[in-house]
Copies of this chain bind each other. A is one copy, B any other.
């Protein structure tokens, strides 16, 4: 069996590519480290010198201003130098291969590549080809994984619910196409969450997802009944009409999270969303802005989690 490409031979994290296959102690170590970084953003001077003089490259082959900004902030608060490449206009567009681009940037003494790519597996390919002191952090690859989102979700759940071992967590929406859902599921099961449910219409939540160790539910009531955490997913515009869904209104009618429906969950259930939100499509505004919503704390914890990931991988060698 090949070694986990995310770990060195001492079992330390050198790349973050997926929450799948990461041992529980690594996940816990990231969350614990993030915990120490949450307060940095509250300080007068929101910086620590951990990555001073390191070169972090943001390589967003697929556009995402929001996620890119969170990594930019995280790296900057660790005092790294951040370089954002406008990939659409760069040599890759001139026909240079992904690996030639990486080889070139590595020759400029890059320390960390933060990579978003529309192709599942692109960050793995990069990780296989970098020098031992260079690190890769996956910021979302195709439908495959979005591990820092998964980790910030875990941080948020642990913050509000403390112990994973007694929780019921429902993930509602387009689970089939969601890298967030996949990263959440792997992290939750590794952290010992006994009841993970995926909830949505058959076109977006096919029954064979159960092989991931989750319960598949095709009604919202069954899906969020008595659960502690409801994670709503963003409904991508391209799914809102056509073969997979009749319309966004139809979706909202059956699976949109409203204040009323939220009563099916436990009274102290928290509501999460990776953003950006389509108000009135996957979730009602009253819930977004309501007392059970922890959507903005997720964003705050996201900075700390990304600081933790960058700090941890930078400290280890292949």
A47 to chain B minimum Cβ distance, whole angstroms, is 5
A46-B41 contact in complex given A69-B108, A276-B94, A300-B109, C-beta closer than 8 Å: no
* A314 CA / B315 CA spacing, docked (Å): 35
B53-A45 in contact (CB<8A): yes
Which residues of A come within 8 Å of B, CB atoms? 41-47, 52-55, 63, 65-66, 69-70, 72-73, 76-77, 81, 83, 85-87, 89-91, 94-97, 100, 103-109, 237, 275-279, 296-297, 299-300, 302-303
For A76, A81, A104, A278, which residue has the most chain B Cβ atoms within 10 angstroms?
A104
B-side contacts of A275, CB under 8 Å: 91, 96, 100, 104
B-side contacts of A53, CB under 8 Å: 43-47
B-side contacts of A52, CB under 8 Å: 45, 47
Q: Which of B81, B96, B296 contacts A76 (CB 8 A)?
A: B81
A103-B296 in contact (CB<8A): yes
B66-A90 in contact (CB<8A): yes
A46-B54 contact in complex given A85-B69, A276-B96, C-beta closer than 8 Å: yes
A149 to chain B minimum Cβ distance, whole angstroms, is 14
A95-B276 in contact (CB<8A): yes
* A86 CA / B84 CA spacing, docked (Å): 12
B-side contacts of A107, CB under 8 Å: 296-297, 299-300
A98 to chain B minimum Cβ distance, whole angstroms, is 12
A316 to chain B minimum Cβ distance, whole angstroms, is 14
B-side contacts of A100, CB under 8 Å: 275-277, 279
Q: List 28 A–B pairs whose Cβ atoms lie within 8 Å, in order of A's numbering.
A: A42-B109, A44-B53, A45-B53, A46-B54, A47-B52, A55-B73, A65-B85, A65-B87, A65-B90, A65-B91, A66-B90, A69-B83, A69-B85, A69-B108, A72-B83, A76-B81, A76-B83, A94-B276, A97-B279, A100-B275, A104-B275, A106-B296, A107-B296, A107-B299, A108-B300, A108-B303, A109-B300, A109-B303
B-side contacts of A91, CB under 8 Å: 65-66, 275-276
* A42 CA / B42 CA spacing, docked (Å): 33
A150 to chain B minimum Cβ distance, whole angstroms, is 18
* A47 CA / B55 CA spacing, docked (Å): 10
B-side contacts of A278, CB under 8 Å: 95
Q: Which of B42, B83, B276, B300 contacts A73 (CB 8 A)?
A: B83
* A237 CA / B299 CA spacing, docked (Å): 42
Closest to A299 in B: B107
A73-B43 contact in complex given A89-B65, A100-B277, A276-B91, C-beta closer than 8 Å: no
